[in-house]
Amino acid sequence: MSQSILTYSSLYPSNAQPQHGVFVENRLRRIVTLGGVDARVVAPVPWFPFAGKRLGRYGAYAGISPAESRYGIPIDHPRYPVIPKIGMSIAPWLMYRATRAMMTQLRDDAIGFDVIDAHYFYPDGVAAAMLGQTLGRPVVISARGTDVNLISNFAAPRRQFLQAAEFAHAIIAVSDALRRRMIDIGIAAEKIIVLRNGVDAALFAPLDRQRVRRDLGITRQTMVAVGNVLESKGQDIAIRSLTHLDDTELLIVGTGSDEKKFAGLAESLGVANRVRFVGRVPHEELARYFNAADVSVLASMREGWPNVLLESLACGTPVVASNVGGVPEIITTPNVGRIMKKRTP
């Protein structure tokens, strides 16, 4: 008899945002391919009344369908309210209340579900623990990085972390560093399992480097920085490094709220002609950019288990990354890359 998993995460991709939390989808798809498992997804979405690119990420949320299917897995997108500034401490409760009726209906339908597989500890994992208690289903919570490394520093969320961890049947950490952090805040060590993200070797592999460089119009030494364009991801550090690297180009692959700010920085430093803002590209096309580059750069303030490093290495491209989260567990020898001593150019 098949087991039925319900994955619960606001990080799950949608047809409107196919790159959003793709690592959550990848793991679920891999579990399903092993056989003996039925899966469905509840991916809560912040409520917003108007759709449109000009309205930023909330406008994108509004464009997500209430229900859809990806790779044969049915997905529901219930809306939950988000209260700016004051909403952090009650976010799990708001998510719980907004999804409880749907989760009850799914539990009671013909397929039902045997376990709740929650991704991102806060607010998703905390809400999932509340739902598990209400619905009488076990819960497994996967911590991803920022959820624990940043949000647990606040007193009210930390209390909710510990309450959810006490109810959870198991907690998954994507790195040893994240496991240690959860133990430090008071989560029982025996509940935590380290399960690192893998990489799709069929998707990320060496290509004809000269061909992809020609196709992408690359003629110089090239760095690539893949990720959301935010100060916390450190693309500004990569831009500043160009003042020390003659005849080197930087490709920034991704989008984010700091894109204009970083473009202005490049202009002020006189390196704008060597910084290319590529924008967001489909996940399956990232291998071309990794293959075309001489090195991948990730100068983040914090990370859990940065998939982009694994993807770059699978393409044969070395990496340079800041000493945060699971990075030292990936860059273990000089053959694969370097760990930054400081987050400076």
User: What is residue 320's predicted lDDT score, i.e. its pLDDT?
Assistant: 98
| Conformational region of residue 334, where left means phi above 0, alpha means psi within -120 to 50, and beta covers everything else | alpha
Of 9, 301, 257, 43, which Cα lies nearest the Cα of 150? 301
> Is residue 194 a contact partner of residue 176, using CB atoms and an 8 Å limit?
yes
Mean pLDDT of 150-167: 95
The share of the chain scoring above pLDDT 70, in percent, equals 96
**So what's the pLDDT on residue 18?**
87
Superfamily name and number for 3-194 = Glycogen Phosphorylase B; (3.40.50.2000)
Q: Could you give the 3-state DSSP secondary structure of residue 339?
A: strand
User: According to DSSP H, which parts of the chain are helical?
Assistant: 22-33, 56-62, 91-108, 126-135, 146-149, 155-167, 176-184, 209-215, 235-241, 259-268, 286-292, 307-314, 327-330
Strand 192-194 with 221-226, pairing: unpaired
Average pLDDT on 214-241 reads 97
| H helix and E strand count, the chain | 13, 16
- ∠57-58-63 over CA atoms, to 5°? 95
pLDDT of residue 56: 62
Mean pLDDT to the nearest integer, 52-62: 66
CATH class belonging to 209-340: alpha beta
According to the model, what pLDDT value does residue 208 have?
A: 98
- CA atoms within a 13 Å half-sphere pointing along the CA-CB vector of 124: 27
As given in the structure block, the two tokens for residue 280 are 């967001």
pLDDT single digits (tens) 16-51: 888 888 999 999 999 999 988 999 999 999 987 666
At residue 63, the pLDDT reads 81
Residues of the chain with CATH 3.40.50.2000: 3-194, 209-340
**Position 59 confidence tier, pLDDT thresholds 50, 70, 90:** low
Most confident of 17-21, 78-82, 137-141: 137-141
Residue 8 burial by CB count (10 A; 0-12/13-18/19+): exposed, middle or buried? buried
Among 83, 159, 174, 172, CA closest to 126? 159
Q: What's the rounded mean pLDDT across residues 159-172?
A: 97
